[in-house]
Structure 1
Amino acid sequence: MSVAESSSVSESFSKEGESTVSSPVPQARTSALRIQGDAALAVLEEYPPRAPISAAEDTKVRRKIDLGVLPVVLLVYFLQQLDKSSLSYTTVFGIIEDTNLVGSQYSWLSSVVYAAQLVWQPISSYLLVRFPVAKYLFVHVLIWGAIVAITAAAKDFEGLLATRFFLGISEATVAPAFITITQMWWRRREQTMRLSMWMAMNGVTGMAIGKVNCEQVGSLLSYGLAHIKGSLRPYQTIFLFNGLLTVVCSPVVLFVLSDSPTKARFLNREEKIIALERLRENNQGTESKVWKWDQVLEVLVDPKTYLWFSLLFICAVPSGGIGAFGPLIIQGFGFNQFHTILFNIPFSAFQVIVTLLAAFVSTKIKLKWPIIFALTLPPIAGASALLVLDRGPELRHTLLGCYYVLSFFTALQPMLYTWSAQNTAGHTKKTCTTGLIFVAQCAGNIIGPLLYQIEDKPFYHRGLVAKITAAFLAFRNRQHAGIRLSLGKAADIVDMSLEKHTKTDNAEQAFDDLTDSQNEDFIFAL
């Protein structure tokens, strides 16, 4: 596609939707793009090219998007982590003894969730392209809430295993859907913080569960869950409460969350145009309901895919272990069950702080790889100390401090998700890449609880792979610069998607649903 063709298409739409250029070539291309291109074209083609977006317009629409989308995303991810992590906290309330779990059965209850997600990810990637994302998400939220509530009735390993497997199926689409949502609503500069915010709900969930179950916190909810008397065991009450809470909250997804900026109920027509133009420099588009097999093939032959896969897998192995065994690790330092829950709250708080701080610094310096490498260093020290220190009662506070240092690794996953999301274009390719990196995460989380050891070696590997990834992205930027030069464009262009405000200058092909390899204007974020 030539620059002349791109410019003529941009100039060919009037407000009434009629072409102002009589040439049949732009009309044919426009017809093809309406079918094969991005959903944004259906809105943008109704208007002539508008003046550059002012800073005030940019800020106003961004704030409306933050208020219209982000609260729902935060709520749903909070509920997902609340439901998923309920199992780890029920260990200190007798679930292992009451359900007669032996050997590696408890570990399998953690791993089976990710095994189910691994199975469902390819199917979910396809369905995320074919169906409206908000409605598809609502169905899964409703189902997983019901499954968590039903888990309260499980009385043995087989019952727990079955409910945990179907929980994994129903939750498999949540994080991939949220990455898709983040890509279609926010500019690349803004994506890092927004994605980190909803992933920080992992830590918020940990603090919430701790407060709910800790007898030192004298709230009505705490009393009701931790001290309820009756036929239900405390862990059954936790499952039942969390599941029903999710079911009650699920309609929020259906009635509040919009499927895309083109269908945003909280934006008027002019604001929709601004919302879409804000995304132009991303060169990632919004969404397309056409499944493109050529983009699937590109995912499989793109070296970046395997770099993301390696990074997420290495990160997920220790994450899966600590996620499943964290409370038991603290309990092993010599604390009772309520102190165990209480002392896990600072770990979760550190997780929130480190995740958001890493996102803030990354946005400021416009780089990912140095932050990823730096985040691996503190866990090396903490993990090494836990390996060599004794478990005597006089060292339990020192051990607890070393355990808290491990919280730095929790910021790695949102940074890696953002890094991958910002460097992928083409709706089918974006969805498939997200699905594959979640396969890597699922595989790591399966292995983590089963073969769990806190060791420093994986952290070194993450730092090494991060450097290799950054070098490869820099190489791809040089390739794109050469292509632009050969087409008569400027070789060196500023990535406005990482600047504070958009200018909508370059990116004529932004909504053609081209992949990052096909679009020479795409700039890879380091």
Structure 2
Amino acid sequence: MMLIKLGRSPDEVITVSPADDARILRRIDLALLPLMLSVYFLQALDKATLSYASIFGLIDDTDLVGDEFSWLGSIVYLAQLLMQLPLAWALVKLPIGKFTSAMVFAWGVTLACMTWAHNFGQLMAARFFLGAFEACVGPAFVAITQMWWRRRHILGILTSSVSDREQTLRIGSWYCMNGLTWVFGSLITYGLASIDSHLKPYQIIFLFFGVVTVVVSGAMFFWMPDSPTEAKFLSDEDKILAIERLRNNQMGVMSREWRYAHFFEALRDLKTWLWVIMIFCISVPSNGISTFGPLIIKSFVTDPYRTILFNVPVGLSHVLAVSLSAYASMKWKVKGPIIALLCIPPIIGFSILLHFPHDVEHRAILLAGYFCLSTFTGITPLIYSWSAQNTAGDTKRKCTSAMVFIGSSAGNIFGPLLFTPDEAPSYSRGLRANIAFFAFVLLLVGITSLYLKYLNSDHAKRRVALGKSAVILDMSLETAEEEDGVQPDDVKGRKAFADITDLENEDFVFVF
């Protein structure tokens, strides 16, 4: 379409030089990443306001009893679960930038309205709509990442160990915002709670972050393009190059066409279900600790303001875990083993929290155990990246993302229910369950890696049967002269922009 618009042949061979590739990547990063990081930071922060509010009297002021506070943590993810399949359709059919910004605006308004929620019913209603509107951010950002960035960066022979630097790094960067939420959110909350006002501290927190979210949604509406062909920060020539540099992804860009065959293939695909179960098992402890973590700290750090400040080093450890896991994934060119390694410290941490009494006397060892939990934050973005980079076909990509986020939402619903205020301060049931979930993830990682190896072997056999080479050469960034020395059947990318799935495309190579 862009070639025709510029009066050029649609059959023209486009070559992207390394210099152009680096230049366009910088422009994409500068234009899109600040928006994505800001929105994801606010999403994590807006959900975390509940745990901050619990420290400043929300539970007592709204007369919450039994597991009602647990349900306030879970209802957000129940709403997100219900929204995933409609969102999968919407992200295929609607302009992704405009749609996402509208949802950001709606959740900002909802959070601000929570200022005047005074009982369990009102809080539940507000939290439900907060979750419904926030539900689009994760799937939309995965789709945007697939639309703009490569899943691989290093040239050469394309094997299962090829680097997947661009997408992994970008997904890891916006997921790092969860950790920065604990850092800056805690500091901002500390300041807001110190304001002398007729409003309660938690009401000020809800109102402030709600208004900030509304402002950011306006910036996103005007600056986030719906596709590379609609990017105002790229010239027409650069738009062509931005699309061409994605050829190696073998995923296309977008089609705005809903394909039921892709939908049903996503439902039948074993690897999709392995990632759904994996993300469920990680999300159970993730939201349980996110919701009840400050209360666990409060059991041996009695001052609410000190409890808030203790979240700062916890947040820094989250950022460190996500950053180091993303770097390790790029360095060693694998994801499964990294996920397995990240499961070990939380198992140790939960065991410490389970074994020692939650009192001031054991504060040091309990804090050490609590910090061990931080590595779990590096697992979730690796699962998102792992699933996204191994799925092709526009409708299938959106459906797979929806299924993975349904698994995440289901785990986040279940997680806080394992912890109830009645079990304070030990929360032994939740801690035992979380140990079991992390152990199960170790098993799932092994099964998934073996299955991906089998799929690569099967695709190699299919290529041979079609008269192609079993090994594919990635030549998309080479010069025309260098491409002349390669047999046409050895050149990868002929089906790169066809809207076909990873299982249909024998040239697709799965990454571990």
- TM-score by length of structure 2 reads 0.90
Alignment deviations for residues 26-77 of structure 1 (CA, whole Å, 9 cap, x no partner): xxxxxxxxxxxxxxxxxxx3x61023x2221111111111011111100110
Aligned counterpart, 2:239:
272
Alignment deviations for residues 465-493 of structure 1 (CA, whole Å, 9 cap, x no partner): 01110110010000110111111111012
Is 1:130 matched up with 2:96? no
RMSD: 2.0
CA contact (8 A) 1:81 1:202 kept: yes
- Determine helix, strand or coil for the equivalent of 2:116: coil
Is 1:163 matched up with 2:126? yes
Alignment deviations for residues 369-411 of structure 1 (CA, whole Å, 9 cap, x no partner): 1101110011111111111112232211210111011000111
**1:316 counterpart (244, 264, 283):** 283
Would you say how many aligned residue pairs link Structure 1 and Structure 2?
477
AA partner of residue 13 (structure 2) = P
Aligned mates of 1:358, 1:405 — CA distance in 2: 15
Alignment deviations for residues 148-188 of structure 1 (CA, whole Å, 9 cap, x no partner): 00000000101100000011111111110000000110000
CA contact (8 A) 1:495 1:523 kept: no
Q: Aligned runs of 1:197-208 on 2, under 5 Å?
A: 197-208=173-184
Residue identity over aligned pairs, in percent, reads 46
CA contact (8 A) 2:80 2:409 kept: yes
AA partner of residue 71 (structure 1) = P
Deviation at 1:229, TM superposition (A): 2.1
Aligned mates of 2:475, 2:362 — CA distance in 1: 52
AA partner of residue 356 (structure 2) = L
AA partner of residue 16 (structure 1) = G
Aligned counterpart, 1:49:
13
Q: Aligned runs of 1:61-460 on 2, under 5 Å?
A: 61-188=24-151, 189=164, 190-214=166-190, 222=191, 225-452=192-419, 453-455=430-432, 456-460=435-439
Structure 1 unpaired stretches of 5+: 1-11, 19-44, 215-221
- Determine helix, strand or coil for the equivalent of 1:159: helix
AA partner of residue 172 (structure 1) = A
Deviation at 1:136, TM superposition (A): 0.5
Deviation at 1:213, TM superposition (A): 2.8
AA partner of residue 121 (structure 2) = E
Deviation at 1:14, TM superposition (A): 11
CA contact (8 A) 1:176 1:434 kept: yes
Aligned mates of 1:508, 1:500 — CA distance in 2: 15
Aligned mates of 2:317, 2:355 — CA distance in 1: 23
Alignment deviations for residues 55-106 of structure 1 (CA, whole Å, 9 cap, x no partner): 2111111111101111110011011111111011111100001111111110
AA partner of residue 451 (structure 1) = L
Alignment deviations for residues 330-387 of structure 1 (CA, whole Å, 9 cap, x no partner): 0012331011111111111111111011111111221111101110011111111111
Alignment deviations for residues 290-346 of structure 1 (CA, whole Å, 9 cap, x no partner): 000000010111111110111001011101100110100100123310111111111
AA partner of residue 415 (structure 1) = L
Structure 2 unpaired stretches of 5+: 152-163, 420-429, 484-490
Aligned mates of 1:387, 1:116 — CA distance in 2: 31
Aligned mates of 1:289, 1:181 — CA distance in 2: 14
Aligned counterpart, 1:517:
503
CA contact (8 A) 1:477 1:524 kept: yes
AA partner of residue 509 (structure 1) = K
- TM-score by length of structure 1 reads 0.88
CA contact (8 A) 1:480 1:520 kept: yes
CA contact (8 A) 2:247 2:496 kept: yes
Aligned mates of 2:475, 2:149 — CA distance in 1: 13
CA contact (8 A) 1:82 1:209 kept: yes
Aligned mates of 1:264, 1:88 — CA distance in 2: 38
Deviation at 1:507, TM superposition (A): 1.0
- Determine helix, strand or coil for the equivalent of 2:186: helix
CA contact (8 A) 2:63 2:120 kept: yes
Alignment deviations for residues 124-161 of structure 1 (CA, whole Å, 9 cap, x no partner): 11011000100000110000000000000000101100
Aligned mates of 2:104, 2:6 — CA distance in 1: 40
AA partner of residue 249 (structure 1) = V
Aligned mates of 2:47, 2:28 — CA distance in 1: 28
